[in-house]
């Protein structure tokens, strides 16, 4: 199993992360509390410089990489958007060129954001997995360093938001976390365990991307087709084996939500908090609403993993 980072390693990562950004807020919104009949804290990772929690990842990964290696020609990765923005941000910080492969039909605004950060963007494949395989092919052919979608160094960076949240609200009963490739929930396990807290961690996936739920329930990696139209940040066909091992030992359960439930959660966030939340970022609220009966009177956290939704998509969601 991939060893979880220690609290000391995460605190060290804070020094790098906070060169790029300030800590994000955790806010208890009255209208959400009323709706869920619970004390709810929203961790606003939509308030980072790239509008997503991934701002905390690649900067730590790249720092460790350049300590170990010399002569790296460039970085390459595959993404649906937020991970790619993080790698582009790290490329700027360390003055190294970045190539990013996205699947065809990817968010035009996320693509524009990655290009705006100086990345060379390539569109290839019908989903993330095909884009990832092509990126690895280019890495081999061009001698570029392939930045993976999941890595222990990512957990150090992402763990900084959990350290913020658990330091501010240490007596949470439960926290709902969207699962893309797993760095969010796995880093939550690291900080919770390191602080000896009893908070249950619940993963959330889309019904249109069930690979992590099926794998968790079977105890082994299982691929599943991706059909979600709104939660592109969790549109994963094949889980990472190391991430799954961590989840199996540390996560309470995994909830799946429909695209309609994700859209409704986006609308609720806007009405109750006036925050823009992307589909993948909203599924934590959608899951909490599904489990509302078991949350009454408890203290819960909802991770808003990102706010990067295209304007036209968000307009349609709000108008429905």
* Mean pLDDT for the stretch of residues 195-211: 98
Is the confidence at residue 4, as pLDDT, over 90? yes
- Angle, helices 7-20 vs 152-168, to 10°: value is 90
pLDDT per residue as tens digits for the range 114-156: 999 999 999 999 988 899 999 999 999 999 999 998 999 999 9
Provide the domain limits for residue 279.
7-53+152-319
Residues 231 and 288 in one domain: yes
Residues 40 and 102 in one domain: no
pLDDT per residue as tens digits for the range 265-289: 999 999 999 999 999 999 999 999 9
Residues 194 and 241 in one domain: yes
Of 125, 146, 167, which closes a domain? Answer: 146
Residues 161 and 206 in one domain: yes
Residue 176 domain-assigned (yes or no):
yes
Whole-number pLDDT of residue 2: 76
Whole-number pLDDT of residue 294: 97
Residues 252 and 233 in one domain: yes
Whole-number pLDDT of residue 69: 82
Residues 171 and 207 in one domain: yes
Q: Counting runs of H as helices and runs of E as strands, what totals does the chain give?
A: 14, 10
pLDDT per residue as tens digits for the range 53-75: 999 999 999 999 998 887 789 99
Whole-number pLDDT of residue 70: 76
Residues 96 and 237 in one domain: no
61-72 burial code (b ≥16 CB/10 A, e <16): bbbebeeeeeeb
Is the confidence at residue 11, as pLDDT, over 90? yes
Share of the chain above pLDDT 70, in %: 100
DSSP, collapsed to helix, strand or coil, labels residue 158 as helix
CATH number at residue 184: 3.40.50.1100
Residue 1 domain-assigned (yes or no):
no
Is the confidence at residue 301, as pLDDT, over 80? yes
Residues 196 and 312 in one domain: yes
Share of the chain above pLDDT 90, in %: 92
Residue 67 domain-assigned (yes or no):
yes
Whole-number pLDDT of residue 318: 98
Residue 319: pLDDT band with limits 50, 70, 90: very high
Q: Confirm whether pTM is higher than 0.85.
A: yes
* Mean pLDDT for the stretch of residues 84-110: 93
Of 124, 146, 168, which closes a domain? Answer: 146
Per the DSSP assignment, residues forming a β-bridge with 146 are 76
Of 84, 116, 146, which closes a domain? Answer: 146
Size of the chain in residues: 320
Residue 176: pLDDT band with limits 50, 70, 90: very high
Domain tally, the chain: 2
Residues 36 and 162 in one domain: yes
Strands 253-257 and 145-146: unpaired
Residues 35 and 62 in one domain: no
Residue 2 domain-assigned (yes or no):
no
Residues 103 and 28 in one domain: no
Whole-number pLDDT of residue 71: 79
């Amino acid at each position: 199993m991939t060893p979880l980072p220690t609290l000391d390693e995460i605190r060290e990562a804070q020094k790098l992360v906070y060169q790029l950004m300030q800590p994000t807020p955790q806010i208890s919104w009255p209208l959400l509390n009323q709706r869920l009949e619970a004390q709810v804290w929203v961790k606003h990772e939509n308030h980072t410089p790239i509008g997503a929690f991934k701002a905390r990842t690649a900067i730590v990964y790249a720092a460790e990489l350049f300590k170990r290696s010399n002569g790296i020609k460039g970085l390459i990765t595959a993404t649906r958007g937020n991970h790619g923005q993080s790698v582009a941000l790290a490329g700027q910080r360390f003055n190294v060129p970045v190539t990013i492969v996205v699947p065809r039909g990817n968010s035009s605004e996320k693509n524009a954001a990655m290009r705006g950060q100086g990345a060379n963007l390539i569109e290839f494949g019908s989903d993330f997995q095909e884009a990832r395989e092509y990126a690895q092919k280019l890495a081999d052919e061009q001698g570029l360093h392939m930045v993976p979608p999941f890595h222990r160094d990512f957990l150090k960076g992402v763990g900084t938001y959990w350290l913020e949240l658990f330091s501010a609200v240490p007596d949470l009963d439960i926290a709902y976390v969207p699962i893309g490739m797993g760095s969010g929930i796995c880093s939550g396990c690291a900080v919770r365990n390191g602080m000896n807290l009893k908070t249950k961690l619940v993963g959330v996936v889309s019904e249109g991307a069930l690979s992590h739920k099926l794998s968790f329930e079977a105890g082994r990696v299982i691929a599943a087709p991706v059909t979600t139209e709104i939660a592109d940040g969790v549109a994963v066909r094949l889980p990472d084996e190391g991430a799954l091992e961590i989840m199996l030992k540390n996560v309470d359960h995994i909830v799946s939500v429909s695209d309609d439930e994700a859209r409704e959660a986006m609308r609720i966030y806007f009405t109750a908090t006036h925050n823009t939340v992307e589909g993948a970022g909203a599924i934590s609220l959608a899951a909490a609403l599904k489990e509302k009966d078991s949350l009454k009177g408890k203290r819960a956290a909802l991770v808003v993993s990102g706010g990067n939704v295209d304007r036209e998509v968000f307009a349609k969601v709000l108008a429905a």
